[in-house]
């Protein structure tokens, strides 16, 4: 479903170019859950951003469901994120002027794929039933992250990319949020790739990959 081949990415610095990713290759099947572990600056977030089309690689190829996305322009990559890729970050990035229900449905409406039954079921599974009329500022951190997950899954993306989504949550809430993500990804058949510093959380994924100095190692 996802194929990454010989991906490289370099960023400039005051001391010269920094090789963030070095000839990275990765294949992920639909329905598979993959945890990316590694120290800060190892390249985890950069890899997720490239796969999600938030940035372009210097070289290498990324294919999602057979489509090469590594060379797409900005508009085409934005459409890809809208239609096929779900992004969950440590920051919730909810729209403060929209209600919970409106935030959850936002991505699906942009993609033109609103399934009211699925959104209602998703809202129930996320423990947000009865909170649809509230605004983000009226929710706890865990509730806001569940809204962000609901928004990501509302249009049934083929690939979910999560960058430290439990980093701002306490351990109990983080465990609950991860359980929801793993369960819902399995329900929809989506592949899930998550960057995390937690070895404990990483053990719950079907595959674990360690990122060290821009290279991938089996964990």
3-state class percentages of the chain: helix first, strand second, coil last, to nearest 5 = 35, 25, 35
Find the mean pLDDT for residues 195-215: 94
* pLDDT above 90 for 139: yes
What are the chain's domains?
2-218 (3.40.50.300)
- Phi–psi pair at 128, nearest 5 degrees: -110, 5
Band (pLDDT 50/70/90 cuts) for residue 47 is very high
Does the pLDDT of residue 111 top 90, yes or no?
no
CA-derived radius of gyration, the chain: 17
Q: What's the pTM value of the predicted model, to 2 decimals?
A: 0.91
Q: Are strands 18-28 and 2-11 parallel, antiparallel or unpaired?
A: antiparallel
Write out pLDDT tens, residues 172-185.
888 888 998 898 88
Q: Are strands 59-64 and 159-163 parallel, antiparallel or unpaired?
A: unpaired
Q: What is the pLDDT of residues 53-103, one digit of tens each?
A: 999 999 999 999 988 988 788 899 888 888 899 999 888 899 999 999 999
Question: SS3 for 101?
Answer: helix
What CA–CA distance (Å, rounded) separates 197 from 27? 22
Report the candidate in 9, 28, 40, 19 with the shortest Cα–Cα distance to residue 211: 40
The answer to whether 209 touches 219, Cβ cutoff 8 Å, is yes
Phi, psi angle pair for 36, to nearest 5°:
-105, 120
Flag whether pLDDT at 219 surpasses 80.
Answer: no
């Amino acid at each position: 479903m996802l194929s990454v081949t010989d991906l490289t990415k370099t960023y400039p610095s005051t001391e010269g170019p920094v090789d963030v990713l070095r000839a990275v290759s990765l294949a992920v099947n639909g329905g598979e859950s993959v945890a990316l572990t590694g120290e800060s600056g190892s390249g985890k977030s950069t890899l997720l951003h490239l796969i999600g089309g938030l940035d372009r690689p210097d070289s290498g190829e990324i294919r999602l469901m057979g489509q090469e996305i590594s060379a797409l322009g900005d508009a085409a990559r934005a459409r890809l994120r809208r239609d096929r890729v779900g992004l969950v970050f440590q920051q919730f990035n909810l729209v403060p002027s929209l209600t919970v229900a409106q935030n959850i449905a936002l991505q699906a409406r942009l993609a033109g794929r609103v399934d009211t039954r699925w959104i209602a079921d998703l809202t129930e599974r996320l423990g947000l039933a009865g909170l649809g009329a509230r605004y983000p500022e009226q929710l706890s951190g865990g509730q806001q992250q569940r809204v962000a997950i609901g928004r990501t899954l509302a249009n049934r993306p083929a690939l979910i990319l999560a960058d430290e989504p439990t980093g701002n949550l306490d351990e109990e809430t983080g465990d609950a949020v991860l359980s929801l993500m793993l369960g819902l990804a399995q329900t929809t058949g989506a592949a899930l790739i998550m960057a995390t510093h937690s070895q404990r959380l990483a053990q719950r994924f079907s595959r674990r990959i360690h990122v060290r100095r821009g290279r991938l190692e089996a964990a």
